[in-house]
């Protein structure tokens, strides 16, 4: 009976599906009761026809990419009514990128249309670098498509 290689790379379709799925490790990791309750409280509510594509757990916050929005939920969102939960429609995002810090950690920085400076950023640790790249790789074409669709629906 042939044995499968546990170190073999999955087929590209499997990698793509994994990139589109929420991070399963982030949802099941529960170091203590207070942090798991806080993580559940910060998960955003999605619209009826909106799907969650990628979750990036950062330092003190989580970033959620959906089919329509980029959402940042700061830890302790219930104590921060104005800045704890920030949501940006994809057609309003002008630029998104990763900026590396010391070691392989860094931050995701976002600029929105009409803003001359960065609108938001979220820091992440070294373990989340691959997930941050997945978020950017999936977000950029969605943002471009959303902006094209928005531009096409304007006045004629």
pLDDT higher at 78 or 21:
78
Instruction: Classify residue 44 by its DSSP letter.
Output: P
**Which domains are assigned to the chain?**
15-152 (2.30.29.30)
**What pLDDT score does 151 carry?**
80
- Which range has the worst mean pLDDT, 7-11, 14-18, 115-119? 14-18
Q: State pLDDT tens for residues 93-113.
A: 999 999 998 877 899 999 999
User: Given the structure tokens 């860094």, which residue do they identify?
Assistant: 106
Is 44:51 a contact under the CB 8 Å cutoff? no
Average pLDDT over residues 35-41: 42
């Amino acid at each position: 009976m042939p044995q499968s290689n546990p170190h073999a790379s999955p087929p590209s379709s499997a990698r793509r599906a994994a990139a589109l799925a929420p991070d399963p490790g982030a949802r099941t990791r529960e170091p203590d009761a207070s942090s798991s309750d806080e993580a559940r409280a910060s998960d955003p509510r999605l619209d009826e026809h909106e799907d969650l594509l990628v979750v990036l757990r950062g330092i003190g916050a989580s970033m959620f990419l959906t089919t329509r929005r980029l959402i940042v939920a700061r830890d302790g969102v219930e104590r921060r009514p104005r800045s704890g939960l920030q949501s940006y429609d994809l057609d309003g995002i002008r630029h998104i990128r990763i900026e590396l810090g010391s070691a392989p950690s860094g931050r995701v920085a976002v600029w929105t249309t009409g803003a001359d400076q960065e609108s938001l950023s979220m820091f992440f640790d070294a373990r989340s670098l691959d997930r941050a790249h997945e978020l950017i790789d999936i977000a950029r074409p969605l943002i471009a498509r959303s902006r094209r669709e928005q531009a096409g629906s304007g006045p004629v």
